Amino acid sequence: KVIEHIEKANGRPLFSFEILPPLKGQNIQSIFDGIDPLMEFKPPFIDVTYHREEYEYKEHGNGLLEKKIVKKRPGTVGICAAIQNRYQVDAIPHILCGGFTKEDTENFLIDLDFLGIENVVALRGDAVKSEIYFKPEREGHSYASELVSQIQNLNNGIYLDEDLQNTTKTNFCIGVAAYPEKHMEAPSMESDIRFLKQKIENGANYIVTQMFFDNQKYFDFVAKCRASGITVPIFPGLKPIATKKQLNLIPHRFKVDLPDDLILEVQKAKDNEAVNEIGVEWCLQQSKELVAAGVPILHYYSMGKAANIKKVASAIF
């Protein structure tokens, strides 16, 4: 379990990373190619994101719209099983409220339990592209805190069906997400932290943050969490900038700010090779400062691309 890995490390910082399942049609080798170069840093676990279905509308000549459900990145559970099998490290699937009924969730968790997967990250998920606000399934959860409760219930042998109570118990260690720059929908940081605390009270064991590029934001956020009574580990999420395009993409997609010094350096870079170097150096300085501050783990968003993360990790681990 993640928490046991942290305890065993006894204050030594650990290395972990997150990958995405490949686009449908690609081979699992593309996943291994993104993991192999990072194994020398001995990650105790690897996170695998979950991608819900999206809706696409196809227009027919007669003016009618056909709604098509497409799942572009299936395979989260299969990839987790393959990782555990190939590398003998713990794979952590992300699990969403979006697109899942409570029954789907229960069955998903049973699958994970049968595969020997004992860690999950419980998330709400975002609104599908065609909608502005997140909409839960009719029999699903509206917030990650409710999903955490369901997982914790199953850990206590509480199933949805009353006839099954206290049959087999699962034993999941539960991670949840948090946002050092506030979740985009939260009316204030204080409100966001109150709901984060709810996730911990419902049974979550640790927190992973959204990526940030200014460590002070992380330090301030952790201080606020501690002041509110949250005591679980808070893992910093890091990503080296790799392209000029990401200057606009990252703030738009993840609702985080980039420091002006970093923006200016990237804007001055002559090509993406130079941007890569700037991104690696920035991420390395962040990593060093976080290690000096005593964080239990550095969690990198590799997005399946190992080269930059490897450069950063080589200088730290």
Contact positions toward ligand FAD, by CB under 6 A? 49-50, 94, 96, 123-126, 143-145, 177, 183, 185-186, 191-192, 195, 199, 208, 210, 237
Least separation in angstroms between CB 221 and ligand FAD = 12
- Name 209's bridge partners: 178
Q: How far is the CB of 166 from ligand FAD (least distance, A)?
A: 28
**Among residues 144 and 154, whose Cβ is nearest to ligand FAD?**
144
Residue 59 CB: number of other CB atoms within 10 A? Answer: 9
Cβ proximity to ligand FAD: between 43 and 276 the closer is: 43
Q: How many Å apart are CA 74 and CA 54, to the nearest integer?
A: 12
Which residue is associated with the tokens 């948090």? 178
For residue 243, the minimal CB distance to ligand FAD (Å) is: 21
CA distance 24 to 146: 30
CA 265 vs CA 240, 262, 288: distances in Å:
13, 5, 20
CB of 104 to ligand FAD, least distance (A): 15
Q: How many CB atoms lie within 10 A of CB 141?
A: 23
* Closer of 138 and 270 to ligand FAD (Cβ): 138
Nearer to ligand FAD, 234 or 269 (CB): 234
> Minimum distance from CB of 191 to ligand FAD (Å)?
6
Q: Which is nearer to ligand FAD, 236 or 279 (CB)?
A: 236
Residues 6+ apart with CB under 8 A from 177: 121, 123, 144, 207, 208, 209, 210
